[in-house]
Every structure is written in C-alpha cells, then in structure tokens.
C-alpha cells in the first residue's frame, strides 16, 4: 500500500501515477475519436485533467491497498466502421500510450547515463518511477482478463481457439482478478507480480538499461 511509503517517495510517486493513469484513459478516448466515436469527447474525457478521469474509490484503493483504477472511458462500438477491429485498437491504445511514455523516459535515462547531464537524485528517482510505473500499467492491462484491456485485445483470438475459456474470462474475469489481487495483499505471494514482473524487468532494461 502506498501509505506505507515515505512522504518523500509519495510526493514523487503520486503525481506520476495520476498522470500515467490519465494519459492511459485519454489515449483510449483519443483513438476512439479518431476512429469515428465521439462519446468520450461528449463526456469531457479528451483531456489530461485528473478530475475527469480519476475514480474516487479507485484512487482510495491505490492509497490504502496499492491497487486501484481510473474511470473507464465510454466507447460506443456502433460508431466504428469495423467495430471488432476498432475496439481492439482502442483497447490497445491505453497500454501502448504507457509504453510510449516509458520509452521516452528511458531515452532520457540512457542519455543521462552517457552524458551525465543531471546528477540530481530526486530527478533520477522520479525518472525511474516514471518508467517503472508506465511499463507496469501497460503490462498489467495486457492481461487477457476482463475488465482489463487485454480482454478486448486478445479476446477474439482466445475465442477462436477456445470459446469456452473466452466466455468464462469475460463473465468471471472481474472476480478472478479481484481474488488474485486480494491474495497478493493478504499473503507474501503476489500471483500478478509473479507473472508480470519478469516482463517488466525486460522492458526496463530495453528502455532504460536498468537491470534489477
């Protein structure tokens, strides 16, 4: 849970987390708008203003539990020319936006390693968290369990080869996801971290050269 962290780390971490979540949701709405659906625009979601993206309960969960969420961006697939493929594009926009942010942060980190133009510890720690949080958000959201973006991205592929599994992941996904998260909170073992941390480490090294 974030409240267990020091005040100094929280001051760095919370603004990065808020910005990354808002950028993720903005990306969903922006791509939907480009593909012909202006539902997000009508609801004031084509903005980076946290007021329009943050969910009160989800934000409190982040502080007290270490896991939370932002408000899902409303999308109307009937406004798309190709609803199935366009929904995949909209879903992928969120994780892709976080990976782009992480890549930008990683480039700055690598340049600093080469040229040493900044030795300020606070800035370097902020940059590290910026890269780590955005990679983590991207990889976590690619898990093919509803309501995560991965369920939309990989759902059609799974249903093609295993319709029963795809249906169960869609129906029971939220309960499965919450159970996995609770296990990680009340026990020393986190199934989600076990699955995604090796992938996060690979991207951290590829983007920034950081090996941990």
Q: Please list the active-site residues.
A: 25
Please, what sign has the CA dihedral across residues 60, 63, 136, 100? positive
Query: Between the CA of residue 125 and those of 119, 121, 130, what are the distances in Å?
Result: 10, 6, 9
Q: Which two tokens stand for residue 207?
A: 């983007």
SS3 sequence of 22-78: HHHHHHHHHHHHHCCCCHHHHCCCCCCCHHHCECHHHHHHHHHCCCCCECCCCCCHH
Q: Which residues pair with 140 in a beta bridge?
A: none
Report the 10 Å Cβ neighbour count for 69: 16
> Is 133 exposed, middle or buried, given 0-12, 13-18 or 19+ CB atoms closer than 10 A?
buried
């Amino acid at each position: 849970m974030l409240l267990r962290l020091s005040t100094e780390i929280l001051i760095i971490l919370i603004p990065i987390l808020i910005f990354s979540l808002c950028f993720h949701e903005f990306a969903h709405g922006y791509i939907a708008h480009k593909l012909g659906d202006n539902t997000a625009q009508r609801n004031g979601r084509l903005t980076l203003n946290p007021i329009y993206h943050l969910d009160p309960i989800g934000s409190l969960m982040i502080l007290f539990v270490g896991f939370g969420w932002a408000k899902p961006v409303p999308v109307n697939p009937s406004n798309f020319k190709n609803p199935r493929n366009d929904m995949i594009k909209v879903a992928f926009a969120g994780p892709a936006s976080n990976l782009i942010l992480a890549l930008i942060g990683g480039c700055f980190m690598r340049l600093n390693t080469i040229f040493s133009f900044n030795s300020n510890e606070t800035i370097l720690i902020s940059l590290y968290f910026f890269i780590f949080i955005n990679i983590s958000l991207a990889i976590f959201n690619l898990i093919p369990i509803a309501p995560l973006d991965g369920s939309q991205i990989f759902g059609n592929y799974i249903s093609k080869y295993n319709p029963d599994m795809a249906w169960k992941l869609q129906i029971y996904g939220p309960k499965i996801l919450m159970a996995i998260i609770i296990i990680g909170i009340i026990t020393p073992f986190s199934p989600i971290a076990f699955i995604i941390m090796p992938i996060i480490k690979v991207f951290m090294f590829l983007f920034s050269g950081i090996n941990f």
